Amino acid sequence: MHNFTNKKILNWNAYLQLQAQNCKDSRLKTFYKTGTYHDDTQLKEIEFVALDFETTGLDPKQNSIISIGLVPFTLNRIFCNQAKKWYVNPQDKLEEESVIIHGITHSDLKGAPDLRRILNQLLDELAGKIVVVHYRNIERDFLDLNLRALIDEGIIFPVIDTMQIEAEIQNKQIQGFFNWLKGKRPGSIRLGNSRLRYNLPGYQPHDALTDAIATAELLQAQVSYYYSPETPIKNIWL
């Protein structure tokens, strides 16, 4: 078993309580007050929620969320009957290039609420759970900056990033003189490619709910292969 350890930057519980005192929006205040797990809590005791966004582009300062998918899970089970998916009215234009990637069209978004209208529901689903994403710069940055534009306050919370975990695993596996001689390079850490290494099935990418389920399955596999159910959350959250 490998020991991949991320540097602990924050006492997340204390930080969220501080945010609860300082934020103005009542929805954010309720979310922060829920808090999070103690950093020594073992992975087997944690309720996770996998989260995925489809967006109008890759720049959270200029682009916005158009679809949200999430699914609660534990190390042993994915609760597909509790999965949620929303289309979201974007704050910027839906460009042809992004339509080609995720297949979400203007007709899909017709009548879709803006992020403010589903914020209560979204935060209820995330509160008290550990959010799991594949590439935190999308989900964490987009939610923070989109909310800043809409309600003048951002949001931050701990996440597990399965892409970060996979990058560390790949880099660890190519270390050593003989691997250097052979010119070994780390494998792709894209969601689909990462899943293949664990013999997980291939799913059609770029659907928020499908990608959330795929991310949940990937974390379960990563923990099974490289960690243990007793691993403390502080070793892998960010």
- DSSP designation for 110: T
- Which residues does 175 contact at the CB level (< 8 Å), separation at least 6? none
CA dihedral 22, 48, 68, 127 (to 10 degrees): -30
Give all domains of the chain, ordered by start, each with its CATH number: 12-235 (3.30.420.10)
The CA radius of gyration of the chain, in Å to the nearest whole number, is 18
pLDDT tens per residue, range 65-83: 999 999 999 999 999 999 9
> Which residues on neighbouring strands pair with residue 130, listed in sequence order?
48
Is residue 177 within 8 Å of residue 36, measured between CB atoms?
A: no
* pLDDT, position 183: 62
Give the chain's end-to-end CA distance (angstroms, integer): 21
CA 90 from centroid of its chain's CA atoms: 20
* pLDDT, position 3: 47
| Full-model pTM | 0.91
pLDDT average per 10 residues of sequence, the chain (238 residues): 50 95 97 96 98 92 94 98 95 63 75 94 98 96 95 96 96 72 77 96 93 98 97 96
* pLDDT, position 205: 85
The percent of the chain in helix, strand and coil, each rounded to the nearest 5, is 45, 15, 40
* pLDDT, position 6: 44
* pLDDT, position 43: 98
* pLDDT, position 98: 62
